[in-house]
Amino acid sequence: MRTSVLRMETKTKTNPNMALNLSTPQVNHRSVVVKNSAGENNALLQSSMLLLAARRIEPVLHALGTPPAFASILGLLVGLFRPLRSLLYANDQILSLGLLRTLKTLAAANGACALLVLAASLANKTPNDRDRRFKNSMESDSSSVSNRSGRESHRVVAIVLSLHHRVWRLLRSADLSLLVPILITRCVLLPLVSLTIVFPVANRFDLLPHGLTGQLVRFVVLLQGSMPPAQNIVVGLQLDGNHNEAAYAGRQLLVAYLISLVPLSILLTFFLGILNI
pLDDT in tens, the chain (277 residues): 444 444 444 444 444 444 444 444 444 444 544 455 665 666 666 667 777 776 777 666 666 666 777 777 887 887 777 777 777 776 565 666 667 777 778 777 777 777 777 777 767 655 454 445 444 544 454 454 445 445 555 676 777 777 767 777 777 777 888 888 988 998 899 999 999 999 999 888 888 888 888 898 899 889 888 888 777 777 777 777 777 888 888 888 888 888 888 899 999 999 999 888 7
Q: Are residues 168 and 183 in the same domain?
A: no
User: Exposure of 107 by Cβ count < 10 A (0-12 exposed, 13-18 middle, 19+ buried)?
Assistant: exposed
Q: Are residues 184 and 157 in the same domain?
A: no
Q: Are residues 275 and 187 in the same domain?
A: yes
What pLDDT is attached to residue 240? Answer: 74
Cβ-contact 229, 256 below 8 angstroms: yes
Q: Establish if 242 belongs to a structural domain.
A: yes
Q: Establish if 82 belongs to a structural domain.
A: no
Q: Are residues 182 and 276 in the same domain?
A: yes
Cβ-contact 126, 243 below 8 angstroms: yes
What pLDDT is attached to residue 224? Answer: 85
What pLDDT is attached to residue 5? Answer: 42
Residues for the chain: how many in total? 277
What pLDDT is attached to residue 96? Answer: 63
Q: Are residues 187 and 215 in the same domain?
A: yes
What pLDDT is attached to residue 104? Answer: 78
Looking at the structure of the chain, the number of domains it has is 2
Its domain, for residue 155, covers 125-173
What pLDDT is attached to residue 2? Answer: 45
Q: Are residues 265 and 181 in the same domain?
A: yes
User: Exposure of 248 by Cβ count < 10 A (0-12 exposed, 13-18 middle, 19+ buried)?
Assistant: buried
User: Exposure of 69 by Cβ count < 10 A (0-12 exposed, 13-18 middle, 19+ buried)?
Assistant: middle
Q: Are residues 195 and 241 in the same domain?
A: yes
Q: Are residues 183 and 277 in the same domain?
A: yes
Q: Establish if 167 belongs to a structural domain.
A: yes
Q: Establish if 24 belongs to a structural domain.
A: no
What pLDDT is attached to residue 6? Answer: 43
Q: Are residues 141 and 214 in the same domain?
A: no
What pLDDT is attached to residue 154? Answer: 64
Q: How far apart are CA 100 and CA 91, in angstroms?
A: 11
Q: Are residues 153 and 209 in the same domain?
A: no
Q: Are residues 188 and 265 in the same domain?
A: yes
Q: How far apart are CA 54 and CA 253, in angstroms?
A: 32
Q: Are residues 242 and 149 in the same domain?
A: no
